[in-house]
Every structure is written in C-alpha cells, then in structure tokens.
C-alpha cells in the first residue's frame, strides 16, 4: 500500500538515493558483474547474428555454397551462445536481486525496531507496511526486470547505431530522423503520464487505506449497520482511481502504437531508398538485407531505454522512501547501567549475600564496576512531561513506590495514568525532573536492561500468531513448558487453556480472534507472570474480564505480586482497595493520595468515586 503521498514519480535526491542503493548492490557485486558480462554476450550475439545476414546473402548471390554452409553454422553458434548467456544472466539476476532485497528488508525492520514510540505515534500502520510491500517490491521488480534489460538495451542501441553507420551512412541519416521523432514523442507522453500515474498511486493508497480500516473495524461496521455508507465511500474512491487510471493508461498506451507506426514508416522509406541504391550498384544486396533487419530492431531498444528509465526512477523513488525511514534517528540510549544475574564471576559467599539483597538474584552494574541489588524502588521527583511541544500531561509530579508496595492510579481519561507507566519504562523521556529506579536515574540505565526488569500487562492485548504456549513464552523466550504452565496457573488461565482441544498447543489466529477478550487478557497476564519481574505494571489488566474471573485473577495476582513493586491503573476501584497507596490524578496532578480507608475518610474525589456520587469519565 502506498504511503500518504503515494509513490513519487522520481526521487527528490537522486544522487544520495543512488549512493545508498549502490551500497546494497555492492553486497551482490560479483553476481551483478557476472550478469553484466553475460548480458554483454547476449547483446553482442544478437547484433552479430543480425549482421551475419550480410555475408550469408552475399554468399548466396555469388553461389559459394561451401561458404554459405560455414556462415550459417557460425550464425547458429553465435545465437546459441546468446541463448546460453541469456539463461545464465536471468538465473544469476534472480539470485542477486533476492539477496539485495533480503538485505534491505532485514535492515529496514532492524532499524524500525530501534525507533522511538513517538515515530509510531505519528506514522500509520498502512504506511509502515507499504515500505515492506509496495516500495521494496518496486525495488525487487526493478532489479529483476530492469537492471539486465537496461544494460542489454544500451548495448543494443549503441551497437545498432554503429552497425547501421557501417552498413550505410546515408540510410542511417533517415533512421536517425525517425528515431528522434520516437524519442520526442516518448518524452512528451512520459511527462503527461508521469503526473497521472502519481495521482493514480495516491488514489490507490487512499483506497487501500480505506479498505484496511473497514476490514479491521468490521465488527463496528456491522454493529452500526454501516455497510451501505462504507460501500458508498468505497465507490467514490474507486471512481477516483478509475478516472486517474484511465487518464494515465490513455497516454501510456499510445507509446507502442506510435513507435510501431513510426518504425514501419521508417522501414518503408529505408526499403525504397535502399533498393534504389542497390539497383544503382551503390549498395550490396547483403548489406541492404542486414540493414533492413537492423532498422526493424533499432526503435525497440531506444523505446525500451525510455520506459526502463522511468521504471528505474520510480524504483529509486521507492528506495528513497525506504532509505528515509532508515535515516530516522534511532531511539536514544545513553544508559550505561546494565542488569545482570548475580553469580557470574563472583565467589559463592558474595553471590548468596547479593541474592538475598536483590530481587530474584539480579543486580545493576554501573560502568565503574560497582553493583546495586535490584529491589524495585521507583521514585518520581518533580516530573513534568508532554507528548508534544506546548502540551503538558504531567506537571511537577512526585511519588514513590518502595520495594514490594502496590501503588494504584485512578482518575479520569487523560489524567496521565498511563503516561506515568510509559515514563517508567522510558517509552518517552521526561521533559524535566527525574525518575529513579533503585536510586539510579532511569536515563542512566540501558533500555534493554530497564525493560527486562519490568512486567507489563496492557489494556489492549496483542497476541501473536502461534500457539498459546508461544504467546505466554513471549515474556521469557527460554521459559520451560513447566514455567509456562505455572505462569498460566498464576494468572488463572490454565483451566480454560486445558479445556481447549489442543491445550497449550492451540493456535492463536488474527490477534486472538478465536479466543474471547477475557481469555486474551488472561494470556497477557500469564505472559507477564512468566518473566517473574521485580516491578509489575498493570494498565487496566482486568478491564476485559467479568467480575468472577476478576476475582480469580486477583487471587492469582496476589501470588505474582508478592515481593514485587506494582503499579496498577484501574477504573474498577474494587481492584485497588488493598493498595499501599492510591493516587487520584486530575489533569496531570495528584489531587489525593493515601490508602483506601484514608481517602474515604477525607470524603473528597476518591470518596465520590467510591460511593458513586461521581463517575470516572
């Protein structure tokens, strides 16, 4: 699917894009060199085979049959060599192209995974997919069909011009005049069709994006009986695509008929003039026969070069979009503190002491070699943050969570609850203030180490294609089957998983469409449980389950949360009443804090929410 602006007609910075593209071609340079050599052999064989018409016809006209047989055999050898080289370069080109495209896709995904979440916030999923499909596929097609054909067309064009001049320079002047007309018309048609093709691509992108939205939201469409309105919207976009596509193809489709008409006219003129020269004895019959064949071939490589040039420019435009993404600055990570398991390289007594002090036998190691036991102490000190300039989501917020405490956040939508958890794991960095983890500024901790110490259950669950066991194991890739089952039991997911026909080997499809929303949430909780994190973040973790299931999860979560520092975001106040501290947020500020009983005694915001006097929005 094309991106927002559609596929451009050409790259904006051709030199820079070409330099990047050539760097990838260098990965398959020996294969591409072999392709170039074999293409030269093929092109040379075609030219030589056509030129051989001259001596063959001359041998027939002189009655030299032995020479005729030898020349025909030589012509057959020339064409056989051309066919063999053609087979060789097509097979080699396929392998070279796939190697280059493989490297581009690998590097593209590898870089996208390093980008900050803010990039994903402002980029549509359809745009991201278009980089891997529309743009990379255009590059692949250009390599498979364009590279070798351009080399061959260039050889054919230059070779044909040279041989035409050698055979008869007078007729060549006529041919040059007709070829100039073909090139002029190709440029005229190309300029007009290029704009229309760009418009067609933009319209196609809008249509594809519309279809993607409607298919993804099919449940909502059916609930509100919106099928008819969707069809009308689709018809309007489809009509725009039909109109722009018709205009683009109308110009492009005239290229071949115009080229053929001019070529036939040229052929007729050259045949008449050449015949007159041959009759007058100023040109040999063999030369005329060979020349006429070359004339029929002359327009083809010129026209092919023009079309392939536009095709390659379009491919380079796709490459420019891909390379532009690769040049987006990666997520910054200035951290130097790393997380490591206690015991690597230390004596046993030191191991035991640190494992007793740290959480689950893990510790922070500073750049200077000093170590701090991982305990789960998280503190905010005058933190101010906004997703965009001029916007403030959190204002001078301060709070702390001691190891093993359960901290709950309640408040209206947009109050900043989820933002707090996003800052803990450094999905975003604070604008001012400081967040510390075991006394270490989170900006000083390597992001991979920081996030591996956190377990997160989001409100919007996302399951991957694979088995249920694979999805739970996503929280800890080296988890054993027993650890997976234990995590499921902790989350109270084991009972429903065991009742499935294939149990833990049941395949999850379409982001868990074959499971209920509650079941998907239970699997997400099990995924967090299997990593056994010292800090656990639950963002509306039980919002999609019924009251009975919530009670089961609560009992399982008690075991999971024992010894953990827990941050809970909840709309159901019943899930946070046993928290060590409850923070009531409004407009990025903490307006009340305390235990459940303390807040009820204050008869403020929390009391109104608990008694139903006021509801969360």
* Model confidence pLDDT, tens digit, residues 566-603: 898 877 777 788 888 999 998 889 999 999 999 999 98
CB 416 within 8 A of CB 393: yes
Residues of 588-602 as b/e, b for ≥16 C-beta within 10 angstroms? bebebebebeebeee
Distance CA 143, CA 314 (A): 12
Q: Tell me the pLDDT tens digit for each residue of 47-81.
A: 888 888 888 888 887 788 888 889 889 989 998 99
Distance CA 612, CA 218 (A): 35
The pLDDT, as a whole number, for residue 356 is: 39
504 has a pLDDT exceeding 80: yes
Residues of 419-442 as b/e, b for ≥16 C-beta within 10 angstroms? bbbbbbbbbbebeebebbbbebeb
Mean pLDDT, residues 113-139:
82
Mean pLDDT, residues 131-140:
84
The pLDDT, as a whole number, for residue 9 is: 47
Nearest to 523 by CA among 466, 480, 452, 579: 466
Containing 490, the helix (H) or strand (E) segment is helix 481-490
More confident position, 520 or 358: 520
Highest mean pLDDT among 30-44, 118-132, 177-191, 552-566: 30-44
For 537, list phi and psi in degrees, rounded to 5. Answer: -115, 120
Q: How confident is the model at residue 442 (pLDDT cuts 50, 70, 90)?
A: very high
How does the average pLDDT of the chain come out, rounded? Answer: 81
Question: Residue 380: beta bridge partners?
Answer: 399, 435
Lowest mean pLDDT among 16-25, 198-207, 271-280: 198-207
533 has a pLDDT exceeding 60: yes
Place of tokens 């490297």: 103
The pLDDT, as a whole number, for residue 344 is: 45
Query: Where do runs of H (alpha helix) occur along 358-445?
Result: 417-424
416 has a pLDDT exceeding 60: yes
The pLDDT, as a whole number, for residue 358 is: 43
Query: Where do runs of H (alpha helix) occur along 374-457?
Result: 417-424, 447-452
Cα first-last separation, the chain: 37
Measured CA distances, 138 to 6, 75, 252, 307 (Å): 13, 38, 19, 15
Mean pLDDT, residues 251-269:
76
Q: How many CB atoms lie within 10 A of CB 315?
A: 24
338 has a pLDDT exceeding 80: yes
Distance CA 597, CA 521 (A): 30
Mean pLDDT, residues 555-566:
71
Distance CA 297, CA 309 (A): 19
Mean pLDDT, residues 323-339:
88
Q: Tell me the pLDDT tens digit for each residue of 26-53.
A: 888 888 888 888 888 988 888 888 888 8
Place of tokens 């820079």: 16
- With 0.75 as the threshold, say if the pTM is over it: no
Q: How confident is the model at residue 359 (pLDDT cuts 50, 70, 90)?
A: very low
Nearest to 517 by CA among 537, 501, 496, 502: 496
Lowest mean pLDDT among 384-398, 457-471, 555-569: 555-569
Q: How many CB atoms lie within 10 A of CB 74?
A: 15
The pLDDT, as a whole number, for residue 307 is: 66
The pLDDT, as a whole number, for residue 116 is: 87
Q: How confident is the model at residue 134 (pLDDT cuts 50, 70, 90)?
A: confident
560 has a pLDDT exceeding 50: yes
Residues 6+ apart with CB under 8 A from 298: 160, 161, 164, 175, 179, 263, 266
The pLDDT, as a whole number, for residue 12 is: 66
Q: Return the structure tokens found at 275.
A: 């015949």
Nearest to 291 by CA among 476, 160, 483: 160
Mean pLDDT, residues 189-204:
69
CB 507 within 8 A of CB 467: yes
């Amino acid at each position: 699917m094309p991106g927002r602006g559609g596929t451009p007609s050409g790259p904006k910075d051709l030199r820079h894009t070409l330099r990047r593209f050539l760097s990838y071609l260098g990965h398959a340079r020996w294969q591409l060199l072999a392709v170039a050599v074999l293409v030269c052999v093929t092109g040379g064989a075609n030219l030589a085979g056509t030129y051989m018409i001259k001596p063959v016809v001359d041998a027939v006209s002189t009655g030299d049959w032995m020479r005729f047989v030898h020349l025909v055999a030589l012509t057959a050898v020339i064409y056989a060599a051309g066919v063999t080289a053609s087979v060789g370069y097509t097979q080699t080109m396929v392998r070279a192209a796939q190697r280059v495209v493989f490297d581009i896709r690998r590097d593209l995904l590898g870089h996208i995974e390093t980008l900050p979440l803010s990039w994903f916030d402002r980029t549509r999923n359809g745009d991201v997919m278009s980089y891997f499909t529309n743009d990379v596929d255009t590059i692949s097609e250009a390599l498979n069909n364009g590279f070798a054909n351009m080399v061959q067309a260039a050889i054919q064009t230059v070779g044909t011009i040279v041989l035409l001049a050698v055979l008869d320079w007078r007729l060549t002047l006529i041919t040059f005049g007709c070829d100039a007309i073909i090139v002029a018309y190709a440029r005229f048609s190309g300029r007009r069709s290029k704009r229309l093709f760009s418009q067609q691509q933009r319209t196609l992108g809008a249509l594809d994006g519309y279809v993607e939205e409607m298919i993804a939201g099919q449940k909502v469409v059916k609930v509100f009986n919106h099928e008819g309105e969707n069809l009308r919207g689709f018809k309007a976009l489809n009509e725009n695509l039909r109109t722009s596509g018709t205009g683009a193809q109308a110009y492009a489709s005239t290229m071949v008929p115009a080229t053929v008409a001019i070529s036939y006219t040229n052929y007729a003129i050259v045949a008449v003039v050449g015949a007159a020269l041959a009759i007058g004895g100023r040109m040999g019959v063999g030369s005329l026969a060979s020349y006429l064949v070359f004339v029929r071939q002359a327009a083809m490589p010129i026209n092919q070069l023009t079309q392939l040039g536009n095709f390659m420019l379009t491919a380079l435009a796709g490459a420019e979009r891909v390379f532009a993404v690769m040049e987006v600055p990666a997520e910054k990570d200035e951290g130097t503190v790393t997380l490591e398991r206690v015991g690597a390289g230390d004596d046993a007594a030191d191991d035991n002491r640190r494992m007793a002090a740290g959480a689950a036998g893990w510790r922070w190691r500073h750049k200077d070699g000093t170590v701090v036991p991982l305990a789960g102490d998280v503190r905010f000190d005058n933190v101010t943050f906004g997703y965009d300039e001029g916007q403030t989501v959190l204002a001078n917020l301060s709070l702390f969570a001691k190891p093993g405490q359960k901290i709950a956040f309640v408040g209206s939508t947009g109050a900043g609850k989820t933002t707090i958890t996003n800052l803990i794991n450094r999905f975003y960095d604070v604008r001012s203030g400081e967040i510390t983890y075991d006394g270490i500024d989170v900006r000083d901790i390597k992001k991979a180490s920081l996030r591996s110490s956190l377990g997160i259950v989001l409100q919007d669950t996302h399951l991957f294609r694979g088995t249920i066991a694979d999805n739970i194991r996503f929280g800890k890739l080296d988890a054993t089957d027993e650890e997976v089952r234990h995590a499921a039991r902790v989350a109270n997911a084991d009972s429903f998983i065991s009742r499935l026909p294939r149990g833990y080997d049941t395949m999850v499809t379409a982001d868990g469409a074959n499971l209920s929303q509650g079941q998907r949430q239970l699997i997400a909780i099990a995924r967090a449980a299997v990593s056994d994190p010292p800090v656990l973040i639950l963002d509306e973790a039980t919002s999609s389950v019924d009251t009975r299931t919530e009670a089961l999860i609560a009992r399982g979560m008690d075991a999971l949360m024992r010894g953990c520092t827990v941050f809970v975001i909840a709309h159901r106040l019943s899930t946070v009443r046993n928290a060590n501290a409850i923070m009531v947020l409004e407009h990025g500020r903490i307006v009340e804090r305390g235990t459940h009983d303390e807040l009820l005694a204050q008869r403020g915001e929390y009391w109104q929410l608990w008694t139903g006097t006021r509801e969360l929005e």
